[in-house]
Structure 1
Amino acid sequence: MAMTRIRVGLLPSTQFIAGTRPMPKVKDPETGVVATDRDGESLYTLTVFLMEEGRAEQMKLTVPESGVPDGLQPGMPVQVAELFATPWARIFNGQLSEGVAYRAAKLELVGEAK
């Protein structure tokens, strides 16, 4: 069954700040195998803070390796390109858990405003 991918529309005023360093997304904790996308590119995850109209949301974001900018550090403002949300649900140990997975094509460092 194909997952529903929803393009996330952002306000021009929306800002993102990196909350963590990007880490390889591990597909199998036992083997340490890193998750890849359909093109075979390694995936990374990081926490970002979305700031919009006076509120901040923490979100976990998955980005392909090529979309992770060099020198990205926590606290740096970033621009998120092609943000998609994929709702998910699964039964684990008889309990339903559900959430939204966020995926971006790439992140770009936001230059210092002069």
Structure 2
Amino acid sequence: MPAIAIRVRTDGAVYLTVTPPAPKLRNPETGEIAKHRETGQPLFTVSLVETYEGRAQVLKVTIPENGLPKNLTVGQAVIPVNLTATPWARLFTADQLSEGVVYRADVLEPVK
């Protein structure tokens, strides 16, 4: 069954970068960098703190290289354009489950 990406509403939320962009590794053993399936662009991850209605959470967001602003700094306010969340789960054994949510955005737009 294909994964279902859920559009995340970003209006009203504030996003601040908490890590600099880092290459997303497809294979940590070889250092191979993951690429966007359609464009072939290298993928990067950036951790963002999202604050909304008095609550905060950290999102690790994957963004293609061409969607990263130049000179992105830690603590910078950004808007993740076309932010989606894709839940996933992997069953290793009958009693060992790993699960989470993958966040992706097309662009990180600096707030002016």
Q: Decide: shared fold, TM above 0.5.
A: yes
Moved more, 90-99 or 45-54: 90-99
Counterpart amino acid of 2:14? Q
Find the aligned partners of 1:69 and 1:92 in 2 and give their Cα distance. 38
Give me the CA root mean square deviation: 1.2
The alignment's TM-score, normalised by the length of structure 2, stands at 0.92
Identity over the aligned pairs, expressed in percent? Answer: 45
The alignment's TM-score, normalised by the length of structure 1, stands at 0.91
Moved more, 38-47 or 84-93: 84-93
Structure 1 equivalent of residue 40 of structure 2: 40
Please state whether the residue corresponding to 1:13 is helix, strand or coil.
coil
Give the unaligned 5+ runs of structure 1: none
Find the aligned partners of 1:6 and 1:26 in 2 and give their Cα distance. 23
Please state whether the residue corresponding to 1:48 is helix, strand or coil.
strand
Shift of 1:40: 1.0
Deviations 1:6-61, CA, capped at 9 Å, x for gaps = 11123x32110001000000010111000011121110001100010111111100
Find the aligned partners of 1:74 and 1:95 in 2 and give their Cα distance. 36
Consecutive aligned runs of 4 or more in structure 1 exceeding 4 Å deviation: none
Give the unaligned 5+ runs of structure 2: none
Deviations 1:59-87, CA, capped at 9 Å, x for gaps = 10000001010111110101110000001
Counterparts of 1:22-37 in structure 2, within 5 Å, are 22-37=21-36
Structure 2 equivalent of residue 17 of structure 1: 16
Report the count of equivalent residues: 110
Counterpart amino acid of 1:106? V
Structure 1 equivalent of residue 75 of structure 2: 75
